[in-house]
């Protein structure tokens, strides 16, 4: 039993003393590699995210611009308003003239024929 | 069943020249005259009961010519009424040859400003068989309407029998806004004829020769090319320099017109005189007289200056205005007549 235990200890010690530095080196290598990988990933993700943000920003700018022009088109500018107003005014004048002309011509028929047809 | 269509027409019934413009895009202009064969021989030769416009003028030696609107109004005799009817009917049939029995003709007719109620009644009477609805308007008003100018402007319509001036300011012109002068084309013809005879007695002149001279050489500008014309004396042709005579005669017309313009400007609302002075529109055949616009402008120098322009499309501008009026008049207004 003692012999067994001693053998166990000896083997353990042997293993630890001979293998520990190598395995330690390996583990830390793996660790460094994985950290490095993760960081690389992270960097990639950040770059990707940045480009996505940039794209979204560009789209937002475009959207803003189109809303602005849309509003500009929809909102009548003052010169158009003025033109519209003067068309209306000239139409009103015309209707007034027509009314006068027709009344004048109706009157003419009444004078000419002495009745109201 | 055939569908009936409405055709709109605008007619300028003038003393010497009448024009029609239709909603189908046709336009015709003709002399307002009708010629009846003088005797059986001419009747046989011409083989027609009457000739119209230029054709009548060409054959005038064989015809009795009737100018039904000679004095700016329809002459009251039967022949003149018939002649007016023939001229109007011919204008319509030559521009609307495909008019169907069920189609309707709506017309606006521009007449000289002097036309009386009786004249207008005559026009309604003589057209009732071939025009379904008709409105009669004064010629300067039709000109203004045609060029969309019923705001502040002064129309000067120089015709053959009369020159009609009319102030427009967005409402219906009253009597005070209008002047009618007998100084017009025919007046100028007379002046030129008398002036030529005074300087060169016995040269042979006819109304046609005078009119040709006036239209070709007449001017009121400060200078022009020399007017040297060939006239005959006792049958022998010779060249005559009438540059000075022509200028003096033409100035008599432009001075009379300028005076009327000054008077219409000066008794207008002072706030609007300047705008009136700067918007003078010269129309009618007489607007072709060389330099007439500048002469009117010059006559306003003492009043603060002015701006006059001659209309484009002189021959049809009155008829165009009438057609425009017809087409823009709402149906409900037509229903009233
Ligand atoms: N170039 C010209 N210079 C001067 N007068 C002209 C000229 N051309 C035409 N006219 C004159 O214009 C007159 C006709 O004008 P118009 O407006 O047709 O008259 P109306 O409406 O009375 O028939 C005629 O007296 C004609 O001789």
- In this predicted model, what pLDDT tens digit does every residue of B178-206 receive, in sequence order? 999 999 999 999 999 999 999 999 999 99
Q: What is the pLDDT of residue A5?
A: 57
In a domain, B84, yes or no: yes
With CA atoms as reference, report the closest residue to B281 among B302, B297, B259.
Answer: B297
**CATH code of residue B209:** 3.30.420.40
Q: What is the pLDDT of residue A84?
A: 64
Please spell the DSSP secondary structure of B205-243, one letter per residue.
--HHHHHHHHHHH-B-SS-----EEEEEETTEEEEEE-H
Based on the domain organization, do B179 and B94 belong to the same domain?
no
Q: B312 CA to middle of ligand 1, Å? A: 14
- Closest residue in A to B325 (Cα) is A98
Based on the domain organization, do B270 and B178 belong to the same domain?
yes
Count of other CB atoms within 10 angstroms of residue B302: 8
* pTM (2 d.p.): 0.78
Report residue A103 as tokens: 């009344």
In a domain, B16, yes or no: yes
Based on the domain organization, do B17 and B92 belong to the same domain?
yes
Based on the domain organization, do B137 and B158 belong to the same domain?
no
With CA atoms as reference, report the closest residue to B315 among B16, B4, B8, B2.
Answer: B16
User: What is the pLDDT of chain B when averaged over all its residues?
Assistant: 93
Q: If pLDDT is split at 50, 70 and 90, which confidence band does B112 have?
A: confident
Nearest to B135 among A95, A99, A105 (CB): A105
Based on the domain organization, do B152 and B260 belong to the same domain?
yes
Based on the domain organization, do B193 and B306 belong to the same domain?
yes
In a domain, B83, yes or no: yes
Q: What is the pLDDT of residue B272?
A: 92
Helix (H) or strand (E) holding A79: helix A78-113
In a domain, B52, yes or no: no
pLDDT surpassing 70 at residue B41: yes
In a domain, B59, yes or no: no
Based on the domain organization, do B72 and B203 belong to the same domain?
no
Closest protein CA for atom 25 of ligand 1 = B185
- Using left for φ > 0, alpha for ψ between -120 and 50, and beta otherwise, residue B304 falls in left
Based on the domain organization, do B208 and B252 belong to the same domain?
yes
State the residue for tokens 């039904």.
B68
Report residue B43 as tokens: 């009747």
In a domain, B41, yes or no: no
**Number of independent structural domains in chain B:** 2
Per DSSP, which regions of chain B are E strands? 6-13, 17-22, 27-31, 34-37, 51-52, 63-66, 104-111, 133-138, 153-158, 163-168, 178-181, 203-204, 228-233, 236-241, 280-283, 308-310
* Domain enclosing residue B117, as ranges: 6-32+67-144+316-334
- Closest residue in B to A116 (Cα) is B337
Q: What is the pLDDT of residue B255?
A: 97
Q: Do A98 and B121 touch (CB under 8 A)?
A: no
Q: Which of A87, A88, A105, A115 to mutate to test the interface with B (most CBs of B within 10 A)?
A: A105
Q: If pLDDT is split at 50, 70 and 90, which confidence band does A79 have?
A: low
Print burial letters for B77-106: b (CB count within 10 Å at least 16), e (below 16): eeebbbbbbbbbbbbbeebbeebeeeeebb
Based on the domain organization, do B121 and B174 belong to the same domain?
no
Helix (H) or strand (E) holding B173: none
Residues in B lying within 8 Å of A, measured between beta carbons: 117-118, 120-121, 124, 135-137, 145, 148, 150, 170-172, 325, 328-330, 333, 336-337
| Mean pLDDT computed over A75-87 | 58
Distance from CA of A79 to the nearest CA of B (A): 20
Q: What is the pLDDT of residue A117?
A: 44
Based on the domain organization, do B127 and B256 belong to the same domain?
no
In a domain, B328, yes or no: yes
Please spell the DSSP secondary structure of A16-72, one letter per residue.
HHHHHHHHHHHHHHHHHHHHHHHHHHHHHHHHHHHHHHHHHHHHHHHHHHHHHHHHH
Instruction: Give the sign of the dihedral formed by CA B262, CA B137, CA B75, CA B80.
Output: positive
> Which atom, in ligand 1's list, is nearest to the CA of B16?
23
The 10s digit of each residue's pLDDT in B88-104 is 999 999 999 989 989 99
């Amino acid at each position: 039993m003692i012999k067994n235990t001693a053998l166990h200890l000896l083997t353990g010690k042997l293993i630890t003393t001979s293998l520990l530095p190598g395995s330690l080196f390996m583990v830390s290598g793996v660790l460094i590699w994985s950290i490095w990988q993760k960081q690389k990933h992270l960097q990639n993700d950040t770059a990707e995210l940045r480009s996505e943000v940039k794209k979204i920003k560009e789209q937002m700018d475009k959207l803003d611009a189109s809303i602005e022009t849309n509003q500009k088109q929809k909102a009548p500018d003052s010169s158009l308003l003025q033109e519209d107003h003067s068309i209306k005014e000239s139409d009103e004048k015309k209707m007034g003239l027509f009314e006068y002309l027709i009344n004048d011509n109706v009157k003419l028929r009444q004078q000419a024929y002495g009745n109201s047809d | 069943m055939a569908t009936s269509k409405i055709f709109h027409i605008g007619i300028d019934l003038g003393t010497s020249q009448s024009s029609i413009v239709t909603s189908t895009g046709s336009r015709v202009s003709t002399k307002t005259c009708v010629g009846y064969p003088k005797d059986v021989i001419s009747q046989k030769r011409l083989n027609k009961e009457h000739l119209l416009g230029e054709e009548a003028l060409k054959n005038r030696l064989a015809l009795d010519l009737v100018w039904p609107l000679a004095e700016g109004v329809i002459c009251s005799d039967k022949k003149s009424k018939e002649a007016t009817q023939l001229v109007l009917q011919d204008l319509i049939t030559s521009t609307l040859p495909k008019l169907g029995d069920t189609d309707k003709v709506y017309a606006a007719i521009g007449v000289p400003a002097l036309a009386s109620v009786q004249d207008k009644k005559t026009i309604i009477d003589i057209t009732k068989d071939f025009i379904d609805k008709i409105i009669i308007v004064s010629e300067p008003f039709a000109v203004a309407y045609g060029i969309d100018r019923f705001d502040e402007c002064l129309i000067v319509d120089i015709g053959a029998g009369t020159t009609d001036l009319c102030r427009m300011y967005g409402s219906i012109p009253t009597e005070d806004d209008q002047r009618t002068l007998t100084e017009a084309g025919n007046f100028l013809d007379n002046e030129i004829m008398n002036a030529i005879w005074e300087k060169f007695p016995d040269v042979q002149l006819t109304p046609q020769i005078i009119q040709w001279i006036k239209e070709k050489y007449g001017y009121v500008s400060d200078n022009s090319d020399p007017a040297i014309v060939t006239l005959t004396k006792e049958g022998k042709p010779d060249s005559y320099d009438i540059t000075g005579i022509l200028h003096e005669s033409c100035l008599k017309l432009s001075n009379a017109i300028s005076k009327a313009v000054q008077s219409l400007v000066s008794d207008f609302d002072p706030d609007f005189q300047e705008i009136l002075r700067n918007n003078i529109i010269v129309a009618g055949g007489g607007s072709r007289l060389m330099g007439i616009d500048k002469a009117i402008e010059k006559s306003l120098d003492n009043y603060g200056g002015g701006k006059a322009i001659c209309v484009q499309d002189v021959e049809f501008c009155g008829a165009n205005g009438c057609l425009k009026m017809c087409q823009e008049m709402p149906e409900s207004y037509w229903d009233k007549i």
